[in-house]
Amino acid sequence: MNEFDDVVIDARDVVKTYDTGTVQVQALRGVSLQVRRGEMVAIMGPSGCGKTTLLNCFSGLDEFDSGTVLIAGQDIAHMPDDRKTEFRARDMGFVFQTYNLLPVLSAVENVELPLIVSGTRPKVARELALEALDRVGLRAWANQRPAQLSGGQRQRVTIARALVNHPSIVWADEPTGALDSKTANEIMDLIVELNAAERQTCVIVTHDPKVAARCHRTIHMADGVIVREDSRETMQTAAAASGAE
Amino acid sequence: MNELFGVSMTIIASVCVAVTALIFAAIGWIAWRNPVMFKMGLRNIPRRKAQTALIVVGLMLSTLIMSAAFGTGDTLTSSVSSEVYSILGEADEWISWDAQKNPAPQEEQVIPLATVDDWKQRLAGDPDIEAIVPLQRETLPVFNTRTRLNEPSARIVAFREADAAALGGLRDTSGAAVQLTGRSIAINEDLARQIDANVGDAVLLFYQGQPVEFTVVAITPSNVLSGAVDPFAMRGGTVAFDTFAQLTGRGDVADAVIVSNVGDAHGGLKRSDAVTERLEQLLEGTPYRVIPIKQQLVATAEFVGSAFTAIFVVFGLFSIAAGILLIFLIFVMLAAERKPEIGMARAVGAKRRQIVESFLAEGMGYDLGSAVVGLFAGMGVTVAMVQVIQYFGGDSLGLNLTVQFTPRSMVTAFCLGIIATFLVILVASWRASRTNITAAIRDLPETSPVDPEASTWRGYYRAAINGIAAFSLPIGASFFLFGPPGAVLGAPLIVIGLISPWFYLLRNSDVAAPRARRTGEPAPRWPWLLGVFLPVVGWLLILPWYAAALLLVRVVRDRKPEALPRWLAVGALAAWPLAFVAALLQTWRVRVPWTAATAIAFGIAGVALTYGGLDRDSAFFFLLGVSTIFLWAAVTLRYFGVSERLAFTATSAVLLALWYVPSQWLEPITGPLEGDIEMFFLSGVVMVTCGVFIVVYNADVVLPALASLGSRFGRIVPALKTAVAYPLTSRFRTGMTMAMIGLIMFSLVMMSTINTNFASLFLNDEAKGGFDVVGSVNENNPIDDLGAALAAAGVDTSPVEATGIARVANPQEVEVQNRDGFVNTDDGTVAPYSRVKVFGVDDGFLRAQDLKLKFRAAGYATDADVWAALASQPNLALVPADITSSQQGFGGSNLRLRLKPLADGFEPFTLDLRDPGTGEVTTVTVIGQLKESADTFFALGSPDFGTGLVITGQTLAQAFPAARGQMFFLKLRPGTDSEAFAKQVEGALVQASADSLDKLLSDQQRQQTGFLLVFQGFMGLGLIVGIAALAVIASRAVVERRQQIGMLRAIGYQRRMVALSFLMESGFIAIAGILVGLVLGLSLAWVLFTTGDFGDGTEQIDFTVPWLQIAVICGIAFGASMLMTVLPARSASRVPVAEALRYE
């Protein structure tokens, strides 16, 4: 396996402009980024710098104006919506800051949704969902609804949902943003552990240097462009410094 | 239309306008006092245009129903009135022989012209009387020799030219005066159309079988001077008085005298009372009577209009009820949408009152818009309904319907719509204002503070005293149902009920706080303002009671004991006015379990209603009371910790079962209870509520069961998953929407099933009675031998297999013993004789007939035995099916004979038949009762669609020798075209009309279908509500679930899957609502028919379910529901994923 084959996300010159009718905001100004299989990459930067837009465009949740994004060699810019949706269902998992669980479904039902969407038989989907919940330590809470779970538990359910179909890429947008630092640490432990175990690629948008320090490398953005890239070690030093402050 | 439900429309309109003005004044007050909150409310209206449009459509329904009902009433009133004015012209009073008080042979019932001339002289100077015109009248066949068309029953009149001069004399259609001399005749437009006659045509008038030729000299408008009598007998003509007197041999007498008051056709009416009074004085001691005919007919027009409006309003109640649910649902959802905004407004200092005001401002914006739209939509619906009635009613309506809206009715409809919507918005706004600030800001579910006394008897006691105190007014009012003892019990409660709402308003205000906590904030001032500015209502119902409440609060606020004295605690439950004292002395700001309190109050009112229903023999009050008690039971069970699902499922199931119990099973306990059309509405509301409770509380079983059907299709499983989950968690919305759809479906299914089964009872093939053609013979030209007459006229009689002849004595020629002593006069007294039509059938009829009997007397094993006895023994009789009905039909007369209900194997009984002309009495023995279809058989052939007793022709000839009516019935050989043969007979017999029974029956069925269509269409309007509710819910869901939709799309839901999920969600609710209405409506109809609760004889029919109609109704309801969800579903599927994920 050569180095190129190992690149699972290959984005080049991606431009994205938001047009509100009165104002045009360039959220991404020609961003290029490669992420390898099994790699955990953090995207950092101030509010409004384009982190979430990058995640949305690269994962196929949003359209972009120009540039190319190849996921596992497939150009998602030119994929029809249905195929893109199928691709997401099969190969991607998502973790959001606000959990985005369906309040009307129980934890296990939330987790099994991506499997059911991909056509897995309901009985099998239920077993796999329970296994996923087991992995995040929530098997006992499988039948609780999101409202009956704590913030950390909800985020674990989200992670279980993101990983239940063994996707090749997990996209996480501020996965610890709504959590206290202890719970945030536990969640990051879980993500790192699962990443190590399953060799999934993780792209994590975060404000938190401690979260970034747990990733293999950190991309810094400002005003819609990548301005710097740091290694884990650099980030660990920065995190330690910010912790000391 | 001047009255509705017996209340003057002017009063209704005045009250409505006053209340509406008050509402607008209140809104104006809010806008002036609190412009910020007012604007905040108003600016929400254009925020979501599609949603606003849906809300307006949903809210307009009450106004639409009202304006359509009033418009139909106005149209009927004005159409019937204008027909009356057009026919009677300037004739206002009618003088004729009073046969009831002065029985005499028909030919003697005349007024000598000399007498009339004497009256004219005596009334010569009367300032109110313009003309007195004596008339001679006969119903004669008229035959046009040119066109060979005939009219067997033309009303021919004659009057002296000089008498009618004051009325302008007889004039043709162009207004030119008509001179009649010798053998000249002026025929009216209706007769001219029938026989296709022109001026100059020669026509034959037949009198006692002899033709007399006349020449048509003019065509005149159809009115009383040209023979028109009523909308069903318009064809007539006028001949010279002398000629007519000579033809009939009557000489100088009149059959009737018309009196015209001073003024035109409309203007004379207001003098009618005075003129009638003077004429009554004039006629005192004579055998004549005066009828203010125009006044009576105009009153009938008013009655018809009011009755139809009342029917449409009652049928519209389902839609109005559904509309009210929708309005409430819409505002609850708007409140949910604005929850964080409300929370923020409250957090920065907005008071609950201001939140209510803001919502009211917004609500009134929708209310005003929807009332205007509803008013015009209702007018459009009226036009459509009138067109359908006219189309299906055809000639049988006898009048031209011209759409008419009176400003008074339209203003009333508009105001009623505004008021109904405002009240619901007020309640919903109050509910929205009660939200917890933190929960609202964070958009969390509402939680209630824990009550340490919840589910305890102590807590329940608190609920009881507060329930009784707060709802004393309805409790007290319900006591009034059972007469003076109830009034004694109810009066003190009503007084308390007028004070207690104000007390509860003040209870949480600063003015009621104990000294230590008082800040000095003044008591609310708006009740004073309302009291002062509202004339009558304010002074009587607000000011004194608010003042009393204020006084009480001030007196007790610092004197409340630590604990209630024991005597008061116990006494409050025994002597209810003391409950108010106990409530007054409660600790400041004590928490009241209001749901339980309300249920207790309504439980007590329910007991009173139940008792009142039994006391008054009213099924409505009895079942309303019982249903209310069940509601109390459900809430109480829940209060004491029984699971909500069990409490509501069990009580609803038992209550539903009770509604299915046939009345005869309950009768030993309740005695006979009477119910009318209002039971239709009550049964619908209660049963659908029960059904919805059962379904909603068990939806976690019902919906997945429905969903499991779909799970066989793997591709829709993900959509199913979410489609089922959402309705399950939003019980309130799901239940409300199901109730709306269920209510309307219930009404439509019941209506359609009832109609189909009544049609099969009355309008089935049995109604042909074994014959194919029915004919009616002019009474002045009887046919002695029908076969010979037909043969003489050149008709090939070989297709005739059998012939039956019936002689007919009309009700005015018959007096029959009022055997069971029913009230049989218009003034409410019981006279010894009633009136009824009698058919005297011949042997041919008895042999050929195939009529069915409902009941046979003891000793007659089969129908054939009864008919054989009738043929072989003299003086036997059959009574019609409708003679034992408590309903005398629409506008039925009291004078008609009524009998107590019969049963199979009844003891034969006698009836005395008296000839009013001779006073001779013939006694007949009743040995059977005809079936409803046999009633229809006799009615179909009668010009007045009347049923009557059946005896033999011989008995009739003996009992009523002067009776001249004649009908004939022909049975044709198989394969003969009955319609063509009937036309042939009619063409051949100038003095007879003939019709195919097949055609008459299908005309009746067509008419019934038309009316059913109108009613169903009208009731179906309510479906708009249910469908709009689904659309509102779906649109709202798209907004609410935006982020969740984004997530679903992110994890792999295709667009179509999201859309499908929304569609299925609406589909489940629609199907559940449809099923609730369908199952309950069908099953109740089945029970009512099979147990005979719909009337005697209904238990004998083969219950038919109109599956096709029901399938169409269900299909429309479901299809429209889906159609309305397509747009929101589509917009949900197009939500941009990344944007949705960011949405909060």
Domain ranges of chain B: 3-81+301-441, 105-286, 456-643, 675-764+1005-1144, 773-975
The answer to whether B585 touches B568, Cβ cutoff 8 Å, is yes
Shortest CA gap A186–chain B (Å): 24
Pick from B931, B979, B969, B989: nearest CA to B808: B969
Strands (E), B721-858: 773-777, 800-809, 815-817, 833-834, 837-841, 853-856
Dihedral pair phi/psi, residue B499, rounded to 5°: -90, -40
Q: Which residues pair with A42 in a beta bridge?
A: A204, A218
The pLDDT, as a whole number, for residue B1095 is 66
Asked if A113 and B1043 come within 8 Å (Cβ–Cβ), the reply is: no
The answer to whether B73 touches B409, Cβ cutoff 8 Å, is yes
Q: Are strands B853-856 and B921-930 parallel, antiparallel or unpaired?
A: antiparallel
**Alpha-helix runs per DSSP H in B586-677:** 594-615, 619-639, 644-660, 663-670
Instruction: Please report, as a single letter, which amino acid is at residue B1137.
Output: V
Asked if A100 and B1142 come within 8 Å (Cβ–Cβ), the reply is: no
The answer to whether A133 touches A157, Cβ cutoff 8 Å, is yes
Residue indicated by tokens 């169903």: B1016
pLDDT at A146 over 90: no
Asked if A119 and B726 come within 8 Å (Cβ–Cβ), the reply is: no
Task: Closest CB to A117: pick one of B445, B1046, B1053.
Answer: B1053
The pLDDT, as a whole number, for residue B707 is 66
Residue indicated by tokens 């369906």: A102
Task: Closest CB to B718: pick one of A59, A90, A116.
Answer: A116
3-state secondary structure of B1134: coil
The pLDDT, as a whole number, for residue B333 is 80
Which chain B residues contact residue A161 at CB under 8 A? 1051
Instruction: Please report, as a single letter, which amino acid is at residue B1062.
Output: F
Shortest CA gap B704–chain A (Å): 13
Task: Tell me how far the alpha carbon of residue B511 is from its chain's centroid.
Answer: 50
pLDDT at A118 over 90: no
Tokens of B402: 């011209």
The pLDDT, as a whole number, for residue B424 is 86
The pLDDT, as a whole number, for residue B723 is 81
Q: Is the ipTM of this complex over 0.85?
A: no
Burial class (CB in 10 A: 0-12, 13-18, 19+), B624: buried
Asked if B1052 and A86 come within 8 Å (Cβ–Cβ), the reply is: yes
A196 touches chain B (CB under 8 A): no
Host H or E run for residue B130:
strand B129-144
Shortest CA gap B729–chain A (Å): 6
3-state secondary structure of B179: coil
The pLDDT, as a whole number, for residue B877 is 94
Asked if A62 and B722 come within 8 Å (Cβ–Cβ), the reply is: no
The pLDDT, as a whole number, for residue B568 is 84
DSSP structure class, residue B510 = G
Pick from B356, B133, B325: nearest CA to B1029: B325
Shortest CA gap A179–chain B (Å): 16
* Closest chain A residue by Cα to residue B1043: A100
Mean pLDDT for back-to-back runs of 10 residues, chain B (1144 residues) = 72 87 86 79 78 80 86 84 83 86 78 91 88 89 86 89 83 90 92 91 87 93 85 85 87 89 85 91 90 87 79 80 82 79 72 81 88 92 86 68 87 90 86 74 62 82 90 88 82 90 85 84 83 77 91 88 82 83 80 89 91 86 93 93 92 93 82 79 92 89 69 71 80 87 90 83 81 87 85 87 90 84 76 88 91 91 92 91 63 70 89 86 93 87 82 91 88 91 85 87 80 79 78 81 85 86 88 93 89 69 86 90 87 83 65
Tokens of A123: 């009985």
A86 touches chain B (CB under 8 A): yes
Task: Closest CB to B1050: pick one of A88, A104, A118.
Answer: A88
A2 confidence band (pLDDT: 50, 70, 90): very low
Residues 6+ apart with CB under 8 A from B404: B71, B74, B75, B77, B78, B79
Task: Closest CB to A61: pick one of B718, B726, B1141.
Answer: B1141
Q: Sheet holding A201-205: strands in order across?
A: A92-96, A169-173, A201-205, A40-44, A217-222, A225-231
Say how far apart CA B496 and CA B29 lie, in whole Å. 30
Shortest CA gap A228–chain B (Å): 25
Task: Closest CB to A116: pick one of B721, B1046, B1138.
Answer: B721
Say how far apart CA B732 and CA B722 lie, in whole Å. 18
A124 touches chain B (CB under 8 A): no
Say how far apart CA B964 and CA B955 lie, in whole Å. 14
End-to-end CA distance of chain B: 55
DSSP structure class, residue B539 = I
Shortest CA gap B1052–chain A (Å): 4
Which chain B residues contact residue A81 at CB under 8 A? 1054-1055
pLDDT at A4 over 60: no
Task: Closest CB to B725: pick one of A89, A104, A161.
Answer: A104
Task: Closest CB to A81: pick one of B1047, B1051, B1055.
Answer: B1055
- Compute how many other C-beta atoms are within 10 angstroms of the C-beta atom of residue A194: 20
* Closest chain B residue by Cα to residue A64: B1138
Instruction: Give this prediction's pTM.
Output: 0.78
Tokens of B401: 């319907």
Asked if A102 and B725 come within 8 Å (Cβ–Cβ), the reply is: yes
Asked if A89 and B1052 come within 8 Å (Cβ–Cβ), the reply is: yes
Instruction: Please name each of the domains of chain A with its CATH number.
Output: 38-61+80-244 (3.40.50.300)
Say how far apart CA B275 and CA B265 lie, in whole Å. 15
The answer to whether A133 touches A139, Cβ cutoff 8 Å, is yes
